[in-house]
Amino acid sequence: MKIHTKAVHSGDRKRKPGEAVPVTVPIYTASSYFYDSIPQLDKVFAREEEGYAYARYDNPTNHALEELTTSLENGHGSLACASGMSAVQIAILTALTDRSKSIVAAGALYGATIGLLNNVLAPLGIAVTYVDICDLAATEAAIGREKPGCVLMETISNPLLRVGQIDRIAALAKAAGAALIVDNTFATPLLVRPLDLGANIVVHSATKYLAGHGDVLGGIVVADAAHYDTLRQISRVSGPVLGPFESYLTMRGIKTFPLRMERQCANACRVASMLRDHPRVERVHFPADPAHPDAETIARLFPQGLYGAMISFEIKDAGRDDIFRIMERFQLVVPATSLGDVHTMALYPVMSSHRDVPPAERARLGIRDNLLRLSLGIEAVEDVIADLEQALGG
């Protein structure tokens, strides 16, 4: 079944003989459930029989969303979480439960993920080693030296849009007995499905492209068969679960996600081309660029013509105040701290996504004070280009 069809149908319309079937999954707000047979409830609690007992364990609305995201990512099972960061954390805990408490992580990650690793997990005794995940030899050496419990990377890195060789890194991790966790938020399952490439766990900020409308805070973990039971066991006691209303909104958003993403990818290609020719722009970071440092990997792993909807670009001789003035001149582009919405958004990484990363570390990663990040929406691209041109000036 094609992903467009999965997005519309998976998880919905569960049929029971003789009952009317709602065309979309209802919002179940109950915190607990009962059965006529107490022995049956006992079996549900023991997970010997499918069913619902307590909302921290499971919920019919959440279950429908989880079935949908499992289908999109070709996984074994999913967990809907309260945020993308809660999804990253529980994915790491799942991977490390019966392995070495050590992580080899991509050096280029979302700033909050770096904060989680450095400020939450490292003080708990979990060793973290950073590596240039796009340097396969360096990654292989780090895995061999550190013998980690898991390897953590993003499909498309935030914010400089680097792309690692997921399939080959998955093979390295497997050979070392480590689990590979991939944050697939920027790419989405329309572009890349990391589990198909050998990853063990995939995470998403559902707030972004999946829900897609700027009205949901949520996260998704999709696991393979080897990790799913552990994921659910940890969830039952730690309780990072998404609310049923947010699950409903996310599921509704996913129904149009492939269509939105295709339009957003096309708009990004047009905008990236305009920015490359603009006299005020020093450099454009975009996966469709033939000169992209990971062009060979992108050509091998991405579908033809789909390169994601994120663009980062550097403005000539611009400092913090110059970037602020440009952002304040936007009339259509929304200067907000997120991505993946139907409207085009601009973010200043130094101020927001990587604010808590030390300046020296940002410099090492190539995140300069003149860098802006765009998330393309579904508007008429000509209007987006006109707004960017007037904001940038001559």
What are the residue numbers of the active site? Answer: 56, 110, 183, 208
What's phi and psi for 293, nearest 5 deg? -60, -20
The answer to whether the peptide bond before residue 159 is cis (omega within 30 degrees of 0) is yes
Number of Cβ within a 10 Å radius of residue 42:
13
Both tokens of 238, joined, read: 């730690």
CA distances from 24 to 73, 186, 218, 259, 334 (A): 21, 27, 20, 19, 31
Whole-Å CA distances, 74 to 78, 162, 227, 251: 10, 24, 14, 17
379 within 8 A of 332, measured Cβ to Cβ = yes
Tokens (6 digits) for 113:
């993920």
Q: Which amino acid is at 167?
A: D
Cα 126 to chain centroid distance, Å, stands at 23
Phi, psi dihedral angles at 77 (to 5 degrees)? -170, 160
What distance lies between CA 219 and its chain's CA centroid?
Answer: 8
Q: Which two tokens stand for residue 50?
A: 């499918």
**CA proximity to 289, closest of 278, 280, 275:** 275
